[in-house]
Amino acid sequence: MAALEQREIRLQQDQRILKPGVGWARSLSTPLWGLVLPVVLGVGWELAVLAGLVEGRLVPPPSKIFETLWELGRSGELWTHIVATSLRVFVGFGAGALAGTLFGAAVGYSVVLRRIADPTLQALRAIPSIAWVPLFILWFGIFESSKIILIAVGVFFPVYLGVLGAIASVDRKIVEVGRIFRLSPLALTRRVLLPSILPAYVVALRGGLGLGWMFVVAAEFMGASEGLGYLLVDGQQLGKPQQIVAATLVFAVLGKISDWLLLAGTAPFLRWQDTLANNGS
């Protein structure tokens, strides 16, 4: 027993020698490290305004921004805008991700569809988001449907492109091995294709979610009376830069939280990956 214990100790020591940065990397894996840069920038920003290096009226310091957030939160107005914007992003993301997944899978599997539909979709992808606004107002009015459709359009293209690219990049040899073992089409999809495309699919979903938060700003410019985009317009019209920056920071926080939730929700499906991130090295 003593010899076995000594052998295990030596193996652990050898692993530490082979991976000298593992401990340091794990110590940096805590989410609190992500707050260091924003805190440093915020403190530097505040000091620059106090020292008179930056005009505080046009570039409000963090103290003014947090004061604005506190007032909006205390009155309940902030939460109303957050809920309105989050619901639009949630519904638009769901619709856009579903459509992008279905179209990407269909075009990726079918060579005929790829030649017919993909050039048109790639051309539509190049249209700026703001160019859709006047058309959607004419077609759907300034109601919620036009806002959600605009967000869904923004989410659709990165998801479609990610699924299409993931299917096209599946190793043909892996598929042939599955066919050699006489896997049914359903089993081939579940055991071979899905594990191959899932990592790229998660990246595509994250990209679509990020664009969803960007497109909701343009969507809420279309006559919205609630939402963080409305706060931006209201701050611009009334000359309130602190309100504009406050709404922008809330966008950043909500975007990060939603991205983290998406990663946490998809992490169990990617545990099989032998990657540096999963090994903590």
Residue 44 lies in a domain: no
The answer to whether residue 133 sits within a structural domain is yes
- The residues near 117 (Cβ < 8 Å, ≥ 6 apart) are 103, 107
Phi, then psi, of 50 in degrees rounded to 5: -65, -35
DSSP class of residue 272?
T
Helices (H), 144-193: 144-168, 172-180, 185-188
- Specify the CATH number for the domain of residue 124: 1.10.3720.10
Reading the block at residue 272, the tokens are 């099989």
Per residue of the chain (281 residues), give pLDDT as tens. Answer: 445 455 554 545 554 444 444 454 455 556 677 777 878 887 878 787 777 777 767 778 888 888 888 988 898 889 999 999 999 999 999 999 999 999 998 888 888 888 998 899 989 888 887 788 888 888 887 778 888 999 999 999 999 999 998 888 877 777 777 777 777 777 777 777 777 788 888 999 999 999 999 999 888 887 778 889 889 988 888 888 888 989 999 999 999 999 999 988 887 777 766 555 555 54
Torsion of CA 124, 126, 130, 133, to 10 degrees: 0
**Domain, as residue range, for 165:** 61-267
Q: Read off the pTM.
A: 0.79
Query: Which residues neighbour 270 within 8 Å (Cβ) at sequence distance 6 or greater?
Result: 198, 199, 202, 278
Separation of alpha carbons 104 and 161, rounded Å: 7
Look at residues 220, 206, 278 and name the one whose alpha carbon lies nearest to residue 250: 220
Q: What six digits make up the tokens of 197?
A: 């495309």
Q: What is the enclosing helix (H) or strand (E) of 103?
A: helix 77-109
Asked, for residue 231, whether it belongs to a domain, the answer is: yes
The answer to whether residue 121 sits within a structural domain is yes
Q: Under a CB-based contact definition with an 8 Å cutoff, are residues 152 and 140 in contact?
A: no
13 is a domain residue: no
- The verdict on residue 31 lying in a domain is no
DSSP letter for 35, please: G
Residue 32 covered by a domain: no
Tell me the two tokens of residue 78: 């902030």
- Total domains, the chain: 1
**CA–CA dist 250, 269 (Å, integer):** 30
Residue 46 is assigned to a structural domain of this protein: no
